Chains A and B, each alone.
Chain A
Amino acid sequence: MAIAGKDRQDDWEVVYEGASGLMELYEADPESKGMNAIVKGFRNFTETLFTAQDEGRPIVWHNCGCSPELIRGIEGVQPMPIELLTVLQDLIGDVNYTVAAIDEAEAHGVAPEVCSIDKSAVGLVLKGLYPEPACGFYFNTPCDSQITAIKVLTELNNKPMRMMDVPYLSGDREARYLAKQFREAIPFLEEHTKRKFSWEKFREVCEESNRTAECLRDWNELRKHIPCPQVSKLVALNTALLVAFSGDPEGTEVAMAFRDEAKERIERGESAVAGGEIYRAVWYQDPVWWDLQFYDWMESELKLVIPMDLFGFYAAEALIDTSTPESMLEGLARKSLRVMPMSRQFKGPIDNYIDDYLLLCADYQADFGIFAGHVACKHGHGGIGLFREASREAGIPLLFFEFDMFDPRVTPIETIQEYISQFVEDVIRPRKEAA
């Protein structure tokens, strides 16, 4: 085990212990197959990262707009999302460490209105908590705040970086443009990792990525079932899976566990909500990652389930065609443009964002939508008027509130609970009763 016996910083130990503790708690529980698999995946990722560091293998930083298959095309190179420790602390560690990292970044001069996950990334680098990269490989999506963090990190660590320019639209022309940039980035990655890119290895990675995709699509379908077979808190973890594990067999393991758990529970006639679900909502924008028990609360107290959210949605898009190098690059480009959550919905016209929402509400038979407005998400908030209008025209009641997806200080959980309880009580319950 890479962590044990090493002089790691307390922050990483907290995450590792959190993962281990959760695994001990749930491992024997057949009801927690999906959650177990992703917690195990997180722990393994942590181990793999530090093993790479200990073995002196190159680490390439990337951001959450980047699906890491291209990096994995170089044998022995370890990709590391810059959001990693923040996500792990919020999900399975201790959110107070995230809060401290955010404060560290702000104290260093990063503006408060930059996204908390990006501020936290800066804070973690200032604290020296990330293994040093050979280089950075970034995408200019999903938002300006990511670009801000990348620019700050590059200034702080003075390491070479390459950014992929993800264009506004997502058609074939755009896919070719991005694929060309991928091809041109290979020599950059080879130069700074001092390792050779292998098309054969890249093919294996893309095939693995496709296997994961197939499981996630099936899983998306299974969650349409009424009642929703699986707990709400699992759904958003899809994004963490895609960012950390795309092209890694661990990702397929996790996706299979998500899928199989849903399938088995349907077969057993089980609902995510003990006593039966009454309400279904599509959660749009960002999840409450600093308190996953909040989702348990919605289910137990309100009989409300979230069958799908923006982060869980795996869009129906062709798999990566692995027949030629060019088809793989273009396939990966299409995935980056049309599948990766947030990048898909946010980078282009507002229609991408609204259409997916309306599609999810229809496919998952939602009683209402929840626009959980992460305060730093300017392009989400910037579209709120049009979003509301579209929701109104579609006859879907919409709850809007502001909070921060990684910083519990902005809107306390009790306040969020109050918003949702009141909305269900005052708007949704009478509406359902009248129907």
Chain B
Amino acid sequence: MGNKDVMDIFRNVITQPGNAYLDEWVASGKKVVGYYCSYIPEEIFSAAGLLPYRLRGAGSVDSSDGDAYMSARVCTFVRHTISLALRGELDFLDGVVLAQNCDHIRRAADIFKKKIKLPFYSFLSIPRIPKERLFDWYLEELKRLKAEVEAHYKVTVSGERLEEAIALHNATRQRVSSLYELRKKQAPPVTGEEALTITVAAHLMPRDTYNMLMDELLAGLATAGGVTKYRARVIITGGELDNPEYIAGIEQQGALSVAEAVCFGQRSFGGPVEDGAGDPLERIARHRFFQAPCARMVECFDEQIIALKDTMKEFQADGIIFQRMKFCDPWAGDGHNLYWRMRKEGIPFLGLEREYGVAASGQVGTRVQAFLEMIGK
């Protein structure tokens, strides 16, 4: 299978709520459980024989059902996912595991519980401060989730099953990491639009299949030519972003995204869960709780900045494009702080606001052009 074939598969996987691999999984009698955020570890689902499916709104043509329940003051990402669920377009889900990731998702959880009523529902209270002093609470929450999954699905999530799940997901992380390594080249073999397509697909299909497809893709990319026609290398950061077309719109202006530090991008993966001794659930918990923090987390902004600057250095980026979903409060604060930090450090920074499912508009194009001019590229 060539690179184009693999990319076509991934594009098909991410275009609509469902995909062929999901259908096959469900047809074989296995269950799919939805979740919104990387603070809910996928390994627990995999260890229970469930397919973790990261909720998104792709394929939703309008958000009217979500609007009716949530008003227009809630972000369009959440409203589209709720619209899909209310319209029955996520009926392949057998359950959801949700959390108070933000005010919007917390209310989405209420709608999942009261209106959509999937057979399995669980809710985690995830601390907002990624410090050791709160780790035990997070671990307890994961233990509770594991117990609820075991009771509902009548399975045993043993240490051995968890180790297998860690190996499976680490294999994905290793492949995504290899992909990102290739992007450090002066002529990266993939664009940002392609890279985001690849990482989004990981969240929507069985991981063993995904890993095999990635092996084929990486083998092809190792010898493929690279992208040379670009004016500047940029890091795209911010909150939820699962729409590669949005990045395509940015890249059409001459910017090349070399890393996406966003939900569904690099931030979802991180390094591997540690091998070795110790409770596997605790190792999973540590990996997730102390991952590169996002804007929902507090008392860790310096760590976020360090991670971002390291990424800039590693990927030889010329600037940062920050994108935020309209009405997202957590990223509104971090967007403000990032702007001033970057300005202080002389790092070119462009802040963009967007709505879910809308490709980069002409206005975005103009702003990106101006940004590239500003940084002399």
**Contact partners of B339 in chain A: CB under 8 A:** 109
Instruction: Give the number of chain B interface residues (Cβ < 8 Å).
Output: 48
- Jot down 9 A-B pairs with beta carbons below 8 A, ordered by A: A115-B329, A148-B332, A149-B333, A150-B298, A155-B340, A163-B128, A165-B127, A165-B137, A378-B74
B92 at the interface (CB under 8 A from A): no
Min Cβ gap B35→A in Å is 16
A181 at the interface (CB under 8 A from B): yes
A153-205 CB contacts (< 8 Å) to partner B:
154-155, 161-163, 165, 167-169, 174, 177, 181, 184
B147 at the interface (CB under 8 A from A): no
Taking A378-B104, A386-B69 as contacts, is the C-beta distance between A145 and B329 under 8 angstroms? yes
Give me the 5 closest cross-chain CB pairs, A-B, nearest first. A385-B69, A382-B107, A148-B333, A111-B332, A144-B329
A381 at the interface (CB under 8 A from B): yes
Min Cβ gap A87→B in Å is 20
B337 nearest in chain A by CB position: A155
A66 at the interface (CB under 8 A from B): no
| Contact flags A253-277 to B (C-beta < 8 A → 1, else 0) | 0000000000000000000000000
A73 at the interface (CB under 8 A from B): no
**Contact partners of A282 in chain B: CB under 8 A:** none
A75 at the interface (CB under 8 A from B): no
How many angstroms between the C-alpha atoms of A382 and B102 in the bound complex? 11
A206 at the interface (CB under 8 A from B): no
Taking A165-B129, A385-B70 as contacts, is the C-beta distance between A378 and B134 under 8 angstroms? no
**Contact partners of A108 in chain B: CB under 8 A:** 336
B141 nearest in chain A by CB position: A167
**Contact partners of A167 in chain B: CB under 8 A:** 125, 127, 137
Evaluate contact between A386 and B111: CB separation under 8 angstroms.
yes
Min Cβ gap B367→A in Å is 15
Taking A163-B298, A378-B74, A382-B107 as contacts, is the C-beta distance between A184 and B133 under 8 angstroms? yes
Taking A151-B334, A155-B340, A349-B110 as contacts, is the C-beta distance between A382 and B329 under 8 angstroms? no
Min Cβ gap A410→B in Å is 12
Evaluate contact between B103 and A143: CB separation under 8 angstroms.
yes
**Contact partners of A144 in chain B: CB under 8 A:** 102-103, 296, 329-330
B18 at the interface (CB under 8 A from A): no
Can you add 18 more A-B contacts, CB < 8 Å, to A109-B340, A381-B71?
A: A113-B327, A113-B332, A114-B333, A140-B129, A140-B298, A143-B329, A144-B296, A147-B296, A147-B329, A148-B330, A155-B301, A165-B137, A174-B125, A349-B109, A378-B73, A382-B103, A382-B106, A386-B114
**Contact partners of B341 in chain A: CB under 8 A:** 155
Evaluate contact between A350 and B329: CB separation under 8 angstroms.
no
B110 nearest in chain A by CB position: A350
How many angstroms between the C-alpha atoms of A169 and B133 in the bound complex? 19
Evaluate contact between A383 and B107: CB separation under 8 angstroms.
yes
B286-341 CB contacts (< 8 Å) to partner A:
296, 298-299, 301, 324, 326-327, 329-330, 332-337, 339-341
**Contact partners of A154 in chain B: CB under 8 A:** 301
Min Cβ gap B331→A in Å is 9
B100 at the interface (CB under 8 A from A): yes
Min Cβ gap A405→B in Å is 14
How many angstroms between the C-alpha atoms of A110 and B328 in the bound complex? 12
B151 at the interface (CB under 8 A from A): no
Taking A165-B127, A168-B123, A386-B69 as contacts, is the C-beta distance between A109 and B111 under 8 angstroms? no
A384 at the interface (CB under 8 A from B): yes
A152 at the interface (CB under 8 A from B): yes
Most buried by A among B103, B123, B326: B103
Min Cβ gap B96→A in Å is 14
**Contact partners of B61 in chain A: CB under 8 A:** none
Q: Which of B71, B296, B333 is the one whose CB lies under 8 Å from A152?
A: B333
Q: Which of A113, A145, A168, A383 is the one whose CB lies under 8 Å from B326?
A: A113
A146 nearest in chain B by CB position: B329
How many angstroms between the C-alpha atoms of A384 and B82 in the bound complex? 14
How many angstroms between the C-alpha atoms of A242 and B333 in the bound complex? 27
Evaluate contact between A165 and B134: CB separation under 8 angstroms.
yes
Taking A113-B332, A168-B100, A384-B69 as contacts, is the C-beta distance between A378 and B125 under 8 angstroms? no
Most buried by B among A110, A346, A347, A379: A379
B374 at the interface (CB under 8 A from A): no
B128 nearest in chain A by CB position: A140
B277 at the interface (CB under 8 A from A): no
B358 at the interface (CB under 8 A from A): no
How many angstroms between the C-alpha atoms of A381 and B78 in the bound complex? 13
B68 at the interface (CB under 8 A from A): yes
How many angstroms between the C-alpha atoms of A169 and B122 in the bound complex? 13
| Contact flags B64-104 to A (C-beta < 8 A → 1, else 0) | 00001111011000100000000000000000000010111
Min Cβ gap B221→A in Å is 38
Evaluate contact between B74 and A381: CB separation under 8 angstroms.
yes
A153 nearest in chain B by CB position: B333
How many angstroms between the C-alpha atoms of A138 and B109 in the bound complex? 26
How many angstroms between the C-alpha atoms of A384 and B104 in the bound complex? 12
A112 nearest in chain B by CB position: B332
**Contact partners of A110 in chain B: CB under 8 A:** 332-333, 336
Q: Which of B110, B298, B335 is the one whose CB lies under 8 Å from A383?
A: B110
